[in-house]
């Protein structure tokens, strides 16, 4: 190239700066598209973890007697969660009770895993030889996969409890599918177990949710005893509620996530030995 005048050099410099800016802009758009598509592909590329307020005011629940009729199905206790196949349970309606033979009852623990309270609950269950079902939120499983593994390694079962603890009766179909699919993927990635139970947050069931459970071969699981421990009413009230309302076949609802669960832990230390002394025995759903 020949010698360039000062104005030509200035023009060339301006051109080069503009060219580089354009390349950076195009590269940024391309990178954004790649990252966005991977984020949408599912929990292999998770959105940033954020705290989930598990207890916005839920929709009013019907008393158990007014809900859909329930057919009792035999619940079999499996020492290895990986061998758990509740094939005898219905997939087209929520399960509120287990088989009540021999005073069997079930304990379910929702909204974890939580780094503070899940280990405490596990210690209490181990102390009394009780096996439970933990309904886990996908975001929390992704944040604490080691806690999910510790639950299965202790012989407990894990149920899908949605990705964000959303009221699925109020969201579109594609959101229902995503909430359930991402959570099952996260649970399997953390534990090697495909969850075969699903619990709807707030007990909010819809035809769309039931159909998705059927597609994913998961039993819709509700509960029949709600001591409202999530509201922290006091240890004595939690204990009194459980002892008054538990009958053969009951599915008891408790929580290890969503807030301070110290009252739940203390209540479990009281109710588990009492229920065992009254002749109940615990089966996993």
Report the share of the chain in percent with pLDDT over 70. Answer: 69
**Residue 49: its pLDDT value, please?**
30
Both 90 and 179 in one domain: the answer is yes
Both 18 and 147 in one domain: the answer is no
Listed range (53-67, 108-122, 202-216) with the worst mean pLDDT = 53-67
Q: Any catalytic annotation for residue 110?
A: yes
Q: Which of the residues 8, 110, 185, 222 is marked catalytic?
A: 110
The CATH number that applies at residue 248 is: 3.20.20.370
If one counts the domains in the chain, the total is 2
**Per the domain annotation, does 260 fall within a domain?**
yes
Both 189 and 239 in one domain: the answer is yes
Both 144 and 16 in one domain: the answer is no
Q: Which of the residues 156, 157, 161, 255 is marked catalytic?
A: 255
**Of residues 50 and 186, which shows the higher confidence score?**
186
Both 135 and 215 in one domain: the answer is yes
What mean pLDDT comes out for the span 17-32?
A: 41
Domain region containing 275: 77-282
Both 185 and 275 in one domain: the answer is yes
231-240 per-position pLDDT tens digit: 999 999 999 9
Q: Any catalytic annotation for residue 229?
A: no
**Residue 87: its pLDDT value, please?**
55
Write down the pTM of the prediction. Answer: 0.73
CB 160 within 8 A of CB 184: yes
153-172 per-position pLDDT tens digit: 999 999 999 999 999 999 99
What mean pLDDT comes out for the span 21-40?
A: 36
**Per the domain annotation, does 22 fall within a domain?**
yes
165-198 per-position pLDDT tens digit: 999 999 999 999 999 999 999 999 999 999 999 9
């Amino acid at each position: 190239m020949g010698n360039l005048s000062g104005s030509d050099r200035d023009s060339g410099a301006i051109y080069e700066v503009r060219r580089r800016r354009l390349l950076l802009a195009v590269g940024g758009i391309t990178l954004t598209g790649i990252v966005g598509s991977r984020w949408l592909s599912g929990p292999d590329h998770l959105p940033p973890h954020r705290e989930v307020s598990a207890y916005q005011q839920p929709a009013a629940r019907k008393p158990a007697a007014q809900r859909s009729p329930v057919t009792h199905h035999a619940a079999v206790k499996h020492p290895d969660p990986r061998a758990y196949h509740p094939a005898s349970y219905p997939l087209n309606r929520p399960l509120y009770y287990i088989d009540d033979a021999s005073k069997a009852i079930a304990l379910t623990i929702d909204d974890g895993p939580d780094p503070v309270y899940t280990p405490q609950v596990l210690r209490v269950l181990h102390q009394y030889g009780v096996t439970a079902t933990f309904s886990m939120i996908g975001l929390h499983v992704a944040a604490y996969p080691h806690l999910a593994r510790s639950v299965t390694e202790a012989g407990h079962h894990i149920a899908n409890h949605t990705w964000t603890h959303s009221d699925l009766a109020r969201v579109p179909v594609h959101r229902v599918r995503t909430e359930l699919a991402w959570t099952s993927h996260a649970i399997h990635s953390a534990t090697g177990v495909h969850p075969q139970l699903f619990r709807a947050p707030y007990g909010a069931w819809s035809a769309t949710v039931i159909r998705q459970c059927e597609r994913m071969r998961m039993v819709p699981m509700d509960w029949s005893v709600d001591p409202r421990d999530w509201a922290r009413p006091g240890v004595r009230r939690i204990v009194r509620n459980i002892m008054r309302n538990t009958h053969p076949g009951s599915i008891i609802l408790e929580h290890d996530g969503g807030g301070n669960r110290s009252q739940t832990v203390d209540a479990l230390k009281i109710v588990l030995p009492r229920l065992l002394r009254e002749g109940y025995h615990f089966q996993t759903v």
